[in-house]
């Protein structure tokens, strides 16, 4: 069965299938001064996880992850 459709227009199709790149952003809240700042997402980040990172505002070391998101982007049109 698979052989029946193999090869038909595949080369062109492969070129058209676009890769969507996500650049997830992690939103952190400093536990000392409540300042909110963002940085690129790291593996293991999840919302409501506490992480040890230096606060650029007060120098505090403990943060709570309050959001992870990707910026709104235009979706490719369905083919």
Partner 1 sequence: MGIMFQLLWFLFLLTFFFIYPYFGQRTQLAFVLRYIEKRLAILKQVRDEVRDRTISTIKTYIEGGKDSSSIEKELDNLMEFFYIAPESMDPSGIVYKLEHILEIGDSRFEESVARMAPRADVHRVKTLTNLVEVARALNLIYRVVRHYYLLGRRTANYFLALQIQIQLPMIMELAESYRQASYAFLKGLPIGDGIGVLSAARFVRESKKISETEIAKDTWLDVVEFEGRKVFVVRPIGPGGTVGRPGEAVRKLVYEMDTNPDLIITIDAALKLEGEETGKIAEGVGVAIGGPGIDKFKIETLAKEKGVPLYAIVIYQSIIEAITPMRENILKSADTVVNRVKELIRDKVPSNGTAIVAGIGNTIGVGL
Q: Which residues bind to partner 1, rule: CB under 8 A? A: 1, 4-5, 8-10, 12-14, 16-17, 20, 22, 24, 27, 41, 43-49, 67-72, 75-76, 78-79
CB nearer partner 1, residue 42 or residue 59: 42
CB of 69: closest distance to partner 1 in angstroms?
4
Nearer Cβ to partner 1 (49/59): 49
Q: Which residues contact 1 (CB under 8 A, 6 or more apart)?
A: none
> Strand 50-52 to strand 25-30: parallel, antiparallel, or no bridges (unpaired)?
unpaired
Query: Do the bridges between strand 36-40 and strand 25-30 make them parallel or antiparallel, or are there none, so unpaired?
Result: antiparallel
What distance in Å separates the CA atoms of residue 9 and residue 17, rounded to the nearest whole number? 13
> Closer to partner 1 at the Cβ: 10 or 32?
10
């Amino acid at each position: 069965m698979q052989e029946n459709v193999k090869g038909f227009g595949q080369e062109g199709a492969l070129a058209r299938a676009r890769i969507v790149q996500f650049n997830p952003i992690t939103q952190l809240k400093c536990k000392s001064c409540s300042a909110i700042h963002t940085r690129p997402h790291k593996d293991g980040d999840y919302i409501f996880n506490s992480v040890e990172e230096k606060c650029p505002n007060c120098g505090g070391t403990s943060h709570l992850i309050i959001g992870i998101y990707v910026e709104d982007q235009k979706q490719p049109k369905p083919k």
